[in-house]
Amino acid sequence: MKKRSIKPAAGDNRALDGLVQALLALDTPTRMRAFLIDLCTPAELQALADRWRVVPLLIEGAAYRDIHDRTAVSVTTIGRVARCLEMGSGGYRHALNQLATDGPDKSSQ
Q: Render pLDDT for 31-90 as a digit per residue (tens, 0 to 9).
A: 999 999 999 999 999 999 999 999 999 999 999 999 999 999 999 999 999 999 999 999
pLDDT confidence of residue 13: 87
- Residue range 16-43: average pLDDT? 97
Cα angle 89, 86, 8; round to 5: 35
Distance CA 51, CA 46 (A): 9
Distance CA 38, CA 44 (A): 11
| pLDDT exceeds cutoff 90 at 6 | no
pLDDT confidence of residue 38: 98
Distance CA 52, CA 67 (A): 12
Return the CATH class of domain 29-100.
mainly alpha
pTM: 0.78
Distance CA 7, CA 4 (A): 8
